[in-house]
Protein backbone atom coordinates (compact mmCIF):
# COMPACT_ATOMS: atom_id res chain seq x y z
CA UNK A 1 0.00 0.00 0.00
CA UNK A 2 1.19 3.22 -0.96
CA UNK A 3 0.25 6.29 0.76
CA UNK A 4 0.89 9.69 -0.51
CA UNK A 5 1.72 12.50 1.69
CA UNK A 6 -0.54 15.38 1.29
CA UNK A 7 0.28 18.76 2.69
CA UNK A 8 -1.72 19.71 5.70
CA UNK A 9 -4.11 22.52 5.37
CA UNK A 10 -4.03 24.93 8.22
CA UNK A 11 -7.17 26.62 9.35
CA UNK A 12 -7.28 30.35 10.01
CA UNK A 13 -4.01 31.58 11.47
CA UNK A 14 -3.98 32.64 15.06
CA UNK A 15 -2.27 35.72 16.51
CA UNK A 16 -2.05 39.34 15.46
CA UNK A 17 -0.12 41.11 12.82
CA UNK A 18 2.51 43.67 13.67
CA UNK A 19 0.24 46.49 12.52
CA UNK A 20 -2.53 45.36 14.88
CA UNK A 21 -0.11 45.19 17.80
CA UNK A 22 1.20 48.72 17.12
CA UNK A 23 -2.34 50.14 16.90
CA UNK A 24 -3.26 48.38 20.16
CA UNK A 25 -0.21 49.85 21.93
CA UNK A 26 -1.02 53.37 20.67
CA UNK A 27 -4.66 53.16 21.81
CA UNK A 28 -3.73 51.82 25.26
CA UNK A 29 -1.00 54.45 25.74
CA UNK A 30 -3.46 57.26 24.91
CA UNK A 31 -5.98 55.87 27.41
CA UNK A 32 -3.37 55.47 30.17
CA UNK A 33 -1.94 58.96 29.63
CA UNK A 34 -5.47 60.46 29.81
CA UNK A 35 -6.22 58.68 33.07
CA UNK A 36 -2.87 59.70 34.58
CA UNK A 37 -3.50 63.31 33.55
CA UNK A 38 -6.85 63.31 35.37
CA UNK A 39 -5.30 61.74 38.46
CA UNK A 40 -2.52 64.32 38.44
CA UNK A 41 -5.07 67.14 38.28
CA UNK A 42 -7.09 65.62 41.14
CA UNK A 43 -4.04 65.09 43.35
CA UNK A 44 -2.75 68.60 42.61
CA UNK A 45 -5.94 70.16 44.03
CA UNK A 46 -6.60 67.69 46.84
CA UNK A 47 -5.30 70.13 49.48
CA UNK A 48 -7.66 72.96 48.50
CA UNK A 49 -10.54 71.83 50.76
CA UNK A 50 -8.20 71.98 53.77
CA UNK A 51 -7.08 75.53 52.91
CA UNK A 52 -10.70 76.60 52.40
CA UNK A 53 -11.79 75.07 55.74
CA UNK A 54 -8.93 76.70 57.63
CA UNK A 55 -9.63 80.05 55.96
CA UNK A 56 -13.32 79.73 56.82
CA UNK A 57 -12.56 78.83 60.45
CA UNK A 58 -10.23 81.82 60.80
CA UNK A 59 -12.80 84.16 59.17
CA UNK A 60 -15.60 82.86 61.43
CA UNK A 61 -13.44 83.33 64.53
CA UNK A 62 -12.51 86.89 63.59
CA UNK A 63 -16.12 87.72 62.67
CA UNK A 64 -17.30 86.38 66.05
CA UNK A 65 -14.69 88.50 67.83
CA UNK A 66 -15.83 91.62 65.96
CA UNK A 67 -19.55 91.04 66.35
CA UNK A 68 -19.20 90.45 70.10
CA UNK A 69 -18.05 94.07 70.52
CA UNK A 70 -20.56 96.81 71.33
CA UNK A 71 -21.73 99.22 68.63
CA UNK A 72 -22.50 102.52 70.29
CA UNK A 73 -22.57 106.16 69.23
CA UNK A 74 -20.09 107.13 71.97
CA UNK A 75 -16.69 105.64 72.73
CA UNK A 76 -17.03 103.07 75.55
CA UNK A 77 -13.83 104.46 77.15
CA UNK A 78 -14.93 108.10 76.98
CA UNK A 79 -18.67 108.84 76.70
CA UNK A 80 -17.95 112.41 75.57
CA UNK A 81 -16.25 111.24 72.34
CA UNK A 82 -18.34 110.29 69.30
CA UNK A 83 -17.43 106.96 67.72
CA UNK A 84 -16.11 107.04 64.17
CA UNK A 85 -15.26 104.31 61.68
CA UNK A 86 -11.78 102.99 62.46
CA UNK A 87 -9.82 102.71 65.71
CA UNK A 88 -9.29 105.71 67.96
CA UNK A 89 -5.74 106.94 68.55
CA UNK A 90 -3.68 104.33 70.35
CA UNK A 91 -6.21 101.49 70.03
CA UNK A 92 -4.89 98.21 68.69
CA UNK A 93 -6.01 94.60 68.54
CA UNK A 94 -4.27 92.67 71.28
CA UNK A 95 -3.45 95.78 73.34
CA UNK A 96 -4.11 95.39 77.05
CA UNK A 97 -4.25 99.15 77.68
CA UNK A 98 -6.29 100.35 74.64
CA UNK A 99 -7.93 97.40 72.87
CA UNK A 100 -10.38 97.65 69.99
CA UNK A 101 -13.61 98.17 71.93
CA UNK A 102 -16.27 98.83 69.32
CA UNK A 103 -17.36 97.03 66.11
CA UNK A 104 -16.33 99.96 63.92
CA UNK A 105 -12.80 100.02 65.43
CA UNK A 106 -11.94 96.96 63.34
CA UNK A 107 -12.22 98.79 60.00
CA UNK A 108 -8.94 98.50 58.11
CA UNK A 109 -7.55 95.74 60.32
CA UNK A 110 -4.93 93.67 58.49
CA UNK A 111 -3.47 90.48 59.95
CA UNK A 112 -0.38 88.97 58.33
CA UNK A 113 -0.61 85.56 59.89
CA UNK A 114 -3.69 84.68 61.93
CA UNK A 115 -3.51 85.46 65.65
CA UNK A 116 -5.74 85.29 68.71
CA UNK A 117 -7.52 88.39 70.03
CA UNK A 118 -4.59 88.93 72.39
CA UNK A 119 -2.12 88.96 69.47
CA UNK A 120 -0.68 85.47 70.00
CA UNK A 121 0.14 83.85 66.64
CA UNK A 122 -1.71 80.61 65.91
CA UNK A 123 0.64 77.81 64.90
CA UNK A 124 0.18 76.62 61.32
CA UNK A 125 -1.71 79.72 60.18
CA UNK A 126 1.27 81.96 59.47
CA UNK A 127 0.62 81.84 55.72
CA UNK A 128 -2.95 83.07 56.12
CA UNK A 129 -3.80 86.78 55.98
CA UNK A 130 -6.97 88.57 57.03
CA UNK A 131 -8.47 91.96 56.22
CA UNK A 132 -11.52 93.61 57.75
CA UNK A 133 -13.80 96.24 56.27
CA UNK A 134 -16.52 97.99 58.28
CA UNK A 135 -18.82 100.30 56.30
CA UNK A 136 -22.03 102.14 57.18
CA UNK A 137 -25.03 100.65 55.42
CA UNK A 138 -28.79 100.97 55.50
CA UNK A 139 -30.63 97.92 56.76
CA UNK A 140 -34.20 97.98 55.59
CA UNK A 141 -35.81 100.68 57.75
CA UNK A 142 -32.57 101.39 59.62
CA UNK A 143 -30.59 104.41 58.44
CA UNK A 144 -27.03 103.99 57.20
CA UNK A 145 -25.79 105.97 60.20
CA UNK A 146 -27.19 103.22 62.45
CA UNK A 147 -26.13 100.10 60.53
CA UNK A 148 -22.81 98.51 59.59
CA UNK A 149 -21.67 95.95 57.03
CA UNK A 150 -18.70 94.00 58.38
CA UNK A 151 -16.66 91.99 55.86
CA UNK A 152 -13.84 89.67 56.86
CA UNK A 153 -11.63 88.23 54.11
CA UNK A 154 -9.07 85.52 54.87
CA UNK A 155 -6.61 84.55 52.16
CA UNK A 156 -4.77 81.26 52.46
CA UNK A 157 -1.84 79.70 50.61
CA UNK A 158 -2.28 79.71 46.86
CA UNK A 159 -4.48 82.80 46.97
CA UNK A 160 -7.58 80.90 48.14
CA UNK A 161 -9.82 83.58 49.68
CA UNK A 162 -12.91 83.28 51.87
CA UNK A 163 -15.09 86.32 52.64
CA UNK A 164 -17.73 86.47 55.34
CA UNK A 165 -20.11 89.41 55.71
CA UNK A 166 -22.33 90.35 58.62
CA UNK A 167 -24.63 93.22 59.49
CA UNK A 168 -24.82 95.04 62.75
CA UNK A 169 -27.38 97.62 63.89
CA UNK A 170 -26.84 100.10 66.70
CA UNK A 171 -28.83 99.09 69.73
CA UNK A 172 -27.52 101.54 72.33
CA UNK A 173 -27.07 105.31 72.30
Give the model confidence (pLDDT) of 37-53 as tens digits: 888 887 766 657 888 89
By C-alpha distance, which of 98, 97, 80, 73 is closest to 88?
98
> CB under 8 Å to 20, separation ≥6 — which residues?
none
The predicted model gives 91-98 an average pLDDT of 84
**How far apart are the C-alpha atoms of 60 and 54, rounded to whole Å?**
10
pLDDT for residue 101: 85
User: pTM of this prediction?
Assistant: 0.70
Contact in structure between 94 and 115 (CB atoms under 8 Å):
yes
Main-chain dihedrals φ then ψ at residue 51, nearest 5 degrees:
-65, -40
H/E stretch holding 56 reads helix 48-67
pLDDT for residue 27: 94
pLDDT for residue 43: 75
% of the chain surpassing 70 pLDDT: 88
Query: Is the pLDDT higher at 1 or at 167?
Result: 167
Averaged confidence pLDDT in the chain: 86
By C-alpha distance, which of 148, 165, 158 is closest to 59?
165
> CB under 8 Å to 166, separation ≥6 — which residues?
63, 66, 67, 149, 150
The predicted model gives 98-107 an average pLDDT of 89
The answer to which of 60-64, 150-154, 156-160 has the lowest mean pLDDT is: 156-160
Amino acid sequence: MRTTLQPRRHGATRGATLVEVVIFIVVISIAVSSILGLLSLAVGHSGDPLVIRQSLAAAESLMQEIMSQPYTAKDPDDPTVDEAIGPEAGEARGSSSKPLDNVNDYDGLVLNGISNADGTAIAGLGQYNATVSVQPTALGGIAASEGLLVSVTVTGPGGVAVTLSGYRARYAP
